[in-house]
Amino acid sequence: MHELSLANEVIDLASREAGKNGLNSLTEIVIEIGDLSGVEADIFQSALEMIVKDTILENAELHLIRTSGKGKCNVCNKDFEMKNRLDVCPDCGCFPSEISGGQEFRVLSISGE
């Protein structure tokens, strides 16, 4: 379960950033998870909730922002939304020639006191 490793990394990152900015506690963290990132958002959230006790994120509100994948068809040139990597163009059934979104996994912001 790599989501647990990612949750640990998020805690480490939040702790480092809080230290750099003189924050004693965090009140909010916002994380973007793309549908094509390979991260199961529900599992990640559960993992993070399990391990935040006695960390700087213990009392922080967690906000997950889900982003859909975006593909461009290599035949008809249509841009379309993708929920998984094997999605095909809804118009012609071809695979995308490029994927331009939904692969993100990043901490967008942290807030604290």
CA distances in angstroms from 29 to 23, 83, 91, listed in the order given: 13, 24, 39
CATH number (3.20.20.60, 3.30.2320.80, 3.30.1490.270, 2.40.40.20) of 2-112 reads 3.30.2320.80
> What is the pLDDT, as a whole number, of residue 57?
94
Domain boundaries along the sequence of the chain? 2-112
For residue 1, is pLDDT > 90? no
Per-residue pLDDT of 18-73, as tens digits, reads 999 999 899 999 999 999 999 999 999 999 999 999 999 999 999 999 999 999 99
